[in-house]
Amino acid sequence: MTIRSVLAGTGSYLPARVVTNQELAATVDTTDEWIVERTGIRERHIAAEGELTSDLAVRAAESALEAAGVKGEVLDLIIIATTTPDNTFPATATKVQARLGANRAMAFDVQAVCTGFVYALAIADNFIKVGQAKTALVIGAETLTRLVDWKDRTTCVLFGDGAGAVVLKAENNGNGASAGAIRNSPPKGILSTHLHSDGRHYDLLYVDGGPSSTQTTGQIRMDGRDVFRHAVNNLSSVLEEAMQANGVTAADIDWVVPHQANRRILDSTLRKLGLPEEKLVVTIDRHANTSAASIPLALDEAWRDGRIQPGQLILLEAMGGGLTWGAAVIRL
């Protein structure tokens, strides 16, 4: 038997305030038409003054723990993927740990920007597979709008705030993954994760501040066109890698739950792989780009509204600053 990380529950939280494209167009030189046509975004949620990444994370975590029927005190591990921690240190995960009463857990943050949730999920999965944790909470939480330069129309229209979380439990199920085996007697849980980075492209998407460089928080800077090009190439290649590793084809995939950066990136990636649009979980229109939070937000939405069902095969994928990119294959 193989120890696998099974998804026991999901949760999410979005701040109450919704800002439409029209509202942004009143303060920066843009239009609703341009934003919708170039990105698919119609509106985004923005955290209230004083509402922190940890507040969003706790709300998402409580909802995931409730869905999983798990109490905070049994958690062995809490990882928060975030690029907008409450403070430079300590890890926001430790603050969330205290509020959840998860006193037994080890808790730390992971920084892989928009790919952060896939990185955090892979790390938690590996802790579980080696037996170092039995119950883990993985959160993607961001107040990304705090890093936005509201005068820069090329970036300020793209981002939003939010949090999503999943509870993973160790379960003995299935034998090792092999081509064909997954189709015939499908094991449950995280079947594989695939992580990549290429630091040669560090300055395509970055924040122009930080404790070591400027002692300020800084703001987001991006060469959008170049990031777009890398995103389509890297995402289609990592998805192919993920399917090949599990001996499955596009036809076997029930849902793709992607990082939501741009509707056109999602469509181009799917087209390259021959995956139909109906298999895509899309939230970009209402959430915009919430960085590490976008995948667990989309996953929770599709799980709760009944689109995602037990037994289905899902693909997660993301790409972000670093550059970093990755994918995960999960049988629910």
Residues involved in catalysis: 114, 259, 289
φ, ψ dihedrals at 89, nearest 5°: -150, 160
Distance CA 100, CA 325 (A): 30
Distance CA 74, CA 168 (A): 12
Taking CB under 6 A as the rule, does residue 30 contact ligand UT7?
yes
Taking CB under 6 A as the rule, does residue 284 contact ligand UT7?
no
DSSP state of 170: E
Burial 144-166 (b: 16+ CB within 10 A, else e): bbebbeeeebebbbbbbbbbbbb
Q: Which of 154, 173, 233, 268 binds ligand UT7 (CB under 6 A)?
A: 154
67 or 265: whose CB is closer to ligand UT7? 265
Closest CB 16 distance from ligand UT7, rounded Å? 24
112 or 124: whose CB is closer to ligand UT7? 112
Q: Which of 289, 317, 322, 328 binds ligand UT7 (CB under 6 A)?
A: 289
What string marks each residue from 245 to 274 as x (binds ligand UT7 by CB under 6 A) or -? ----------------xx--x---------
DSSP state of 129: H
The strand pairing partners of 136, in sequence order, are 77, 168
Taking CB under 6 A as the rule, does residue 322 contact ligand UT7?
no
Q: Which stretch binds ligand UT7 (CB under 6 A): 94-102, 152-160, 162-170, 241-249?
A: 152-160
* Residues 179, 184, 189: CA angle, nearest 5 degrees: 75
Instruction: Please list every residue from 48 through 107 that binds ligand UT7, using CB under 6 A.
Output: none
Taking CB under 6 A as the rule, does residue 26 contact ligand UT7?
no
Taking CB under 6 A as the rule, does residue 157 contact ligand UT7?
yes
CB atoms within 10 A of CB 306: 7
200 or 225: whose CB is closer to ligand UT7? 225
Helix (H, G, I), strand (E, B) or coil at 174: coil
Closest CB 110 distance from ligand UT7, rounded Å? 16
Helix (H, G, I), strand (E, B) or coil at 194: strand
Closest CB 172 distance from ligand UT7, rounded Å? 36
Residue 250 CB-density burial (10 A; 0-12 exposed, 13-18 middle, 19+ buried)? middle
Helix (H, G, I), strand (E, B) or coil at 95: helix
Taking CB under 6 A as the rule, does residue 224 contact ligand UT7?
yes
Taking CB under 6 A as the rule, does residue 227 contact ligand UT7?
yes
DSSP state of 270: H
137 or 205: whose CB is closer to ligand UT7? 205
Extract the tokens encoding 277: 């649009």
Tell me which residues touch ligand UT7 (CB under 6 A).
Answer: 30, 34-35, 38-39, 114, 153-154, 157, 224-225, 227-228, 231, 261-262, 265, 289, 319-320
